Chain A
């Protein structure tokens, strides 16, 4: 819970006070955890996370950005906040620190930042307890939106944060390596989710086996896996099927240069449905725009400084679709 403290309110200074009268001590009911992942580095996750946070905050919602890229923290840079004193790694490794202690104000009202770890050697592989502390804190945080900027790759930590979220977003670029990584991420996330809901150790063993494409069960996709498990035990299969149905990642295509690039979003929807048996939702795209590049270089997020322009429009569309559970429809 939040406690008032008398601290200077310059950006980049830790202050547990939410800043909005009435929020302190209030249970926030409409809270959403949003995770931004993508598998590949450099696709625009941090860019999207930062700008989304700002857009939510501008709408009057309390938003907390968390740089969960353990080992590759960039969110503060994107937002133009100097390298912070206390970070997520401090929170995880020092038991006496509470989550409020590492939370920073930003130049945007209602927006707070928990910066990522600076010490690469230490925290990229947290212990079970450290990770647990963070997961619990995220779940208990009182804010309207919690936006997790996940790192690249498919480490179990990254996957767990993605699966913890109410809404997961994958950022891809219209080129093969990014798409390959995105599918790899989806596959890993699915299997990790299935594994976590499977109570029977035999079923878990089957899931582990199925992760390898060349397994001897003849299972080549999550759908085939569910069928296989249903053959073993109908109830267990039902549980897996339900988990698959509830897995609904969103997709954002970044660096769009043409209509064909936009179509990638729809295409991925179709492919995921056929291969993974899951429903992914194409919620928007970011056009390749000089403004974006400039904003990163100057460390001034688009959403903070611009209202006009393609980039701002694109971002607003994404935020809107995300908040309202909508997705793009082909014309």
Chain B
């Protein structure tokens, strides 16, 4: 059922983006009836087993969309994915790895961790993003706009791929179909705390961590994901969050992540997919995020 994989929660429920809670609930009722056991409507197309799987997916969609907060987070992610074209770059989110060549001739790529020259900030395209970001109630929200080489502000160029991160000189990478997936091993190792014994059952490691009251930083999320046997590609496909962002989240490469409201949305989604308590994970992670990201 490929079609299901490429559908967002609204499509799965069969409602519009601006559906009211009542419409969402009503759509859920219809779906429950449609995919019930021995359903007439699915006869000859879906088996009972498939019906159950679809119902589970629909239930998830309903839970996410019915709750206003999780719906907001999900909407934020969707909007990000769909990308509003900014004046600086044609189509797609500027600076998002994987989008088309964006750099006009003569512009330079962002410096990892460095402060973008004020000129770049001044050139920050007045897209719909700006007002939202300044409204973000995070400590240091204002300064972030100027100092951080936010992908859009730092000229319409693709941020250097993770592999190039260690390089001193800024890299101009244009039209890369996607960042190289290999990351410097040293970087990941640095983040890894003491290894946890590999648990036999998929959920065991996760439950252990929950019990132990672990703090959910990037590495912990990565560990949970791995213990569940989910690859980054898998997670990217299921959560619809770009693989690169998932990596940045796990490796805590905050300078390449977008505004906090989006990051929180991503982390919440990831937590849901990994079966972790979303609120707790988001709180933990965002604390680290705010502390680290200057």
Contacts and interface: CB of A to CB of B under 8 A. Distances in A.
A46 B144 CA distance: 69
A269 B34 CA distance: 10
Contacts of B41: 179, 264, 267-268, 270-271
Contacts of B31: 270
B34 A183 contact: no
Contacts of B11: 273
A275 B273 CA distance: 24
Interface of A: 174-176, 179-180, 183-184, 220-221, 223-224, 227, 260, 263-264, 266-271, 273-275, 277, 330-331
Say whether chain B's binding surface is mostly helix, strand, loop, or mixed.
helix
Contacts of A224: 2-3
Nearest to A227: B2
Interface in B40-89: 40-46, 54
A224 B11 CA distance: 17
B188 interface: no
Given A221-B1, A227-B2, 10 more contacts: A263-B33, A267-B41, A267-B42, A268-B41, A270-B41, A271-B46, A275-B1, A275-B46, A277-B3, A330-B27
- Residue among B4, B12, B31, B34 having the largest count of chain A Cβ atoms under 10 Å: B34
Say whether chain A's binding surface is mostly helix, strand, loop, or mixed.
helix
Nearest to A277: B3
B178 interface: no
B3 A271 contact: no
Contact of B34 (A180, A221, A267): A267
Interface in B132-152: none
B26 interface: yes
A275 B34 contact: no
A268 B34 CA distance: 8
B22 to A, nearest CB: 10
Nearest to B41: A267
Contacts of B4: 274
Contact of A223 (B2, B12, B27): B2
A252 to B, nearest CB: 15
12 contacts: A174-B40, A175-B40, A179-B44, A183-B45, A221-B2, A227-B2, A260-B33, A263-B30, A267-B41, A267-B42, A273-B11, A274-B3
